[in-house]
Amino acid sequence: MTANPFSGKTLAVMLGGSAAERSISLESGENVAHALEQAGAQVLRVDTAEEGWPEQLKGVSFAFNLLHGPGGEDGTVQGLFELMKLPYSGCDLMASALTMDKVRTKWLWQGLGLPTPAFQQLTPETNWQAVIEALGTVFVKPALEGSSLGMSKASNAAELEAAYRHASTFGADVMAEQFVSGPEYTVAILGDRALPSIRIDVSGDFYDFDAKYHSEETRFTCPSDLATEEEAELSELALAAFA
């Protein structure tokens, strides 16, 4: 008989929170909590939108972090875990704080010589026409949000200004990133290993919030259709960006 690896341990599943992605965090957190319970774990669901939630972590053996967005992926909760000496899933404090910010992440990749689409930071004083002339069609997105919240496509100055106004409702830091045509792939990193790539096909214009979480027409193909050499190149790029 196989011993239960969770015996005598309580796992905290961090979920909910007060960020714009709260509903998705609740859903993904509940899925993980259910899977852990099915595997024999004792699970404590911790919603960081509730007052006094840090007290619930006393006596917990491990925190499985399913929080999304600011407060959950930006180093905030990771810092608390480290102060409590509580092991947790996901990236550490520094990596979380850096990579939650799309602009600073791209600066780092540029400094390392990694390929990444050209971009510009946007402010109310931005010359919209100059951005379009420099970058062409762009995707405008809040720099500190995830799940494609506040994201839209712009092909001219008027669309760019409107896209900025929309994105800025999610935060003051907004960027425009050059549009790159072609199929979309994602690569997950587990430890120091790149998992097989996944091709993502959507029915709409791009992989937006609805396509990610609600559409029944989004298709995921894994293993993807890449040739062996292309798969290896994509894995190398993903590992270099992650490292």
Q: Mind listing the pLDDT tens digit for each residue in 120-144? A: 999 999 999 999 999 999 999 999 9
CATH code that applies to domain 184-242 = 3.30.470.20
* CATH number of the 10-99 domain: 3.40.50.20
Q: Residues near 59 by Cβ (< 8 Å), separated by ≥ 6?
A: 10
Q: Is the pLDDT of residue 75 over 80?
A: yes
214-228 tens-digit pLDDT:
888 899 999 998 999
* Tokens standing for residue 43: 């699970």
Query: What's the whole-model pTM score?
Result: 0.82
**φ, ψ at 176 (rounded to 5°):** -115, 125
Task: Determine how many CB atoms are found less than 10 A away from the CB of residue 50.
Answer: 11
Q: Which residue has the higher pLDDT, 190 or 8?
A: 190
Strands of the 152-154 sheet, one edge to the other: 119-122, 174-178, 138-142, 152-154
Q: What is the mean pLDDT of the chain?
A: 93
CATH code linked to domain 120-177: 3.30.1490.20
Among residues 131, 5, 119, which one has the least CA distance to residue 61? Answer: 5
Domain boundaries, the chain: 10-99, 120-177, 184-242
